[in-house]
């Protein structure tokens, strides 16, 4: 294999003291949620909030004086961009980061904050990639690949060494898969340290590139996903043989489970995971029987989620739990009815969040009006009680979906 545990150990020495040795802690509430004994490795606490610094720094540190003077280049709109920019700046190496023109402004800003030159070029990722390759040749810059480089893979593998030092009894590691650099490095390191450990990959169901390749399937790839950090259409050339040999199983995670996992990290573990960072936990929620009773290590590999998207996930999850519900009521169009309903909802213990009184809309019968009320409840059972009480009072309630409010 292209990467050995000796490479990972060397990487660990190289990056020691310059990349955070992140906390690895038991997560009792996630254990209660999943039925497994869960430990979390908080890579979201790195300076740029993802594990990508490990591989990027290991690569940068390997460059000779001449290569450092010329500078490095990477193509990424995400965590790899910030990791390369941050450590290049620390080492005094000029960094050029190419991103597609459609990249959200906040990601450009976050990378420029570390003094990198950001080049916006190409409508798509592959166009940006071609432009970056041309630029690399033209300016004689060293390419820092996000995953298809032995030094990058070895750097990522340092995570598993730390995890097994802190929790030697682990039975399994569940690791997100995009291009495969993270899982490959950690599979090599973990299986060398503890041959019995089982490595499970968590891949986005919308981007099943390793799944397809390993199983000879041809599932479609693409679409918007919360786990953009692992939305990769190709398998890493170096990672593939490692994954084939050392990874026991790949679990595909759909968007609903990714959202639930992000929400669980936030509300139960009080930490912020991006979609890709929560993919391992999502895999546990998809296949709980696989993990029940086992000691499972999760790599929370990144925390860079847009606050607006996080707010939207939170509101949707609260609705899924029926802690926020909306009804459309039909009410007689006379004074005082709104007050009566509000009072009745108060008696029922429902906290009114929003009222929309559409008495002037065309679809309202002449003698009545529609009232949309959104209330906070104590959960599903309470929501149903409120519904029944409103029905008993003759308001003809209809459940409506308000998730769209935040979307």
Least separation in angstroms between residue 385's CB and a second copy is 13
User: 220 or 307, CB closer to a second copy?
Assistant: 307
Least separation in angstroms between residue 119's CB and a second copy is 18
* DSSP H/E element including 203: strand 198-204
Give how far Cα 197 sits from Cα of 37, 164, 282, 360, Å: 15, 10, 20, 65
With beta carbons less than 8 A apart as the criterion, state whether 131 and 174 touch. no
The torsion angle over the Cα atoms of residues 55, 202, 78 and 314, rounded to 10 degrees, is: -140
Using CB under 8 A as the binding rule, whether residue 266 contacts a second copy is answered as yes
Residues numbered 29 to 48 that lie near a second copy (CB under 8 A) are: 29, 42, 44-45, 47
- What's the half-sphere exposure (Cβ side, CA atoms, 13 Å) at 288? 10
**What number of other Cβ atoms are within 10 A of residue 182's Cβ?**
35
List, in order, residues 6 or more apart from 165 with CB less than 8 Å away: none
How far is it, in rounded angstroms, from Cα 242 to Cα 403? Answer: 42
User: 21 or 233, CB closer to a second copy?
Assistant: 21
User: 292 or 308, CB closer to a second copy?
Assistant: 308
Least separation in angstroms between residue 2's CB and a second copy is 32
**Span near a second copy by CB under 8 A; candidates 11-19, 155-163, 239-247, 266-274:** 266-274
| Bridge partners of residue 330, in order along the sequence | 370
Give how far Cα 127 sits from Cα of 25, 130, 133, 321, 373, Å: 41, 5, 10, 42, 48
By CB under 8 A, name the one of 216, 270, 335, 366 that touches a second copy: 270
What is the token pair recorded at 104?
């959200």
Using CB under 8 A as the binding rule, whether residue 20 contacts a second copy is answered as yes
Using CB under 8 A as the binding rule, whether residue 405 contacts a second copy is answered as yes
Which of 264, 174, 268, 279 lies closest to 225 in space, CA to CA? 279
Least separation in angstroms between residue 297's CB and a second copy is 16
By CB under 8 A, name the one of 6, 13, 16, 28 that touches a second copy: 28
What is the token pair recorded at 35?
């039925």
User: 109 or 245, CB closer to a second copy?
Assistant: 109
Three-state secondary structure call for residue 83: helix
Q: Where are the beta strands (DSSP E) in 138-235?
A: 142-143, 172-177, 198-204
**What number of other Cβ atoms are within 10 A of residue 18's Cβ?**
14
What is the token pair recorded at 45?
């606490």
Using CB under 8 A as the binding rule, whether residue 18 contacts a second copy is answered as no
Residues numbered 286 to 345 that lie near a second copy (CB under 8 A) are: 303, 307-308, 310-311, 314-315, 317-318, 323-324
Least separation in angstroms between residue 324's CB and a second copy is 7
Give the number of residues in contact with a second copy, rule: CB under 8 A. Answer: 41
Contact pattern for a second copy over residues 188 through 227, marking x by CB under 8 A? ----------------------------------------
With beta carbons less than 8 A apart as the criterion, state whether 206 and 255 touch. yes
Using CB under 8 A as the binding rule, whether residue 366 contacts a second copy is answered as no
Give how far Cα 134 sits from Cα of 22, 62, 97, 237, 266, Å: 37, 23, 13, 21, 42
Least separation in angstroms between residue 16's CB and a second copy is 16
User: 105 or 218, CB closer to a second copy?
Assistant: 105
Count, residues in the chain: 407
Contact pattern for a second copy over residues 382 through 401, marking x by CB under 8 A? --------------------
How far is it, in rounded angstroms, from Cα 332 to Cα 347? Answer: 21
Using CB under 8 A as the binding rule, whether residue 357 contacts a second copy is answered as no
**Span near a second copy by CB under 8 A; candidates 137-145, 243-251, 278-286, 356-364:** 356-364
Residues numbered 61 to 120 that lie near a second copy (CB under 8 A) are: 105-106
What is the token pair recorded at 81?
């961009």
Least separation in angstroms between residue 275's CB and a second copy is 14
**Span near a second copy by CB under 8 A; candidates 87-95, 212-220, 231-239, 268-276:** 268-276
Residues at the contact surface with a second copy, assessed by CB under 8 A: 20, 23, 25, 28-29, 42, 44-45, 47, 49, 105-106, 263, 266-267, 269-272, 303, 307-308, 310-311, 314-315, 317-318, 323-324, 353-354, 360-362, 376, 378-379, 405-407
């Amino acid at each position: 294999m292209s990467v050995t545990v000796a490479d990972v150990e060397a990487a660990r020495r190289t990056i020691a003291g310059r990349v955070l040795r992140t906390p690895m802690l038991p997560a009792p509430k996630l254990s209660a949620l999943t039925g497994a004994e869960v430990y979390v490795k908080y890579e979201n606490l790195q300076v740029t909030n993802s594990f990508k610094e490990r591989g990027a720094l290991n690569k940068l540190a390997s460059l000779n004086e001449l290569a450092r003077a010329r500078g490095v280049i990477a193509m990424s709109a995400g965590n790899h961009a910030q990791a390369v920019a941050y450590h290049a700046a620390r080492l005094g190496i000029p960094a050029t980061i190419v991103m597609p023109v459609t990249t959200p402004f906040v990601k450009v800003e976050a990378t420029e904050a570390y003094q990198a030159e950001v080049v916006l070029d190409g409508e798509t990722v592959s166009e940006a990639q071609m432009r970056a390759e041309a630029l690399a040749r033209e300016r004689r810059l060293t390419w820092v690949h996000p995953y298809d480089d032995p030094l990058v893979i070895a750097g990522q593998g340092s995570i598993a060494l730390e995890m097994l030092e802190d929790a030697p009894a682990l039975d399994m590691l569940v690791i997100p898969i995009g291009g495969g650099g993270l899982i490959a490095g950690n599979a090599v390191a973990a299986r060398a340290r503890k041959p019995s450990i089982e490595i499970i990959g968590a891949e986005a169901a919308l981007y099943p590139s390793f799944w397809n390749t390993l199983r000879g399937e041809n599932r479609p790839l693409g679409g918007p996903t919360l786990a953009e950090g692992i939305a990769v259409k190709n398998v890493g050339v170096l990672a593939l043989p490692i994954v084939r040999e050392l990874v026991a199983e790949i679990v595909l995670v759909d968007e609903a489970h990714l959202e639930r996992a992000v929400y669980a990290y936030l509300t139960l573990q009080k930490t912020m995971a991006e979609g890709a960072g929560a993919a391992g936990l999502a895999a546990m929620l998809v296949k709980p029987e696989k993990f029940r009773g086992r000691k499972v290590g999760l790599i929370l590999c990144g925390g860079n989620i847009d606050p607006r998207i996080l707010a939207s996930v939170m509101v949707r999850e609260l609705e899924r739990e029926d802690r926020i519900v909306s009804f459309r009521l039909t009410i007689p169009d006379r004074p005082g009815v709104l007050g009566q309903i509000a009072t009745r909802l108060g008696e029922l213990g429902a906290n009114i969040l929003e009222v929309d009184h559409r008495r002037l809309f065309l679809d309202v019968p002449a003698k009545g009006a529609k009232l949309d009320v959104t209330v906070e409840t104590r959960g599903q059972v309470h929501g149903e009680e409120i519904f029944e009480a409103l029905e008993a009072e003759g308001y003809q309630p209809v459940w409506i979906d308000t998730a769209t409010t935040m979307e």
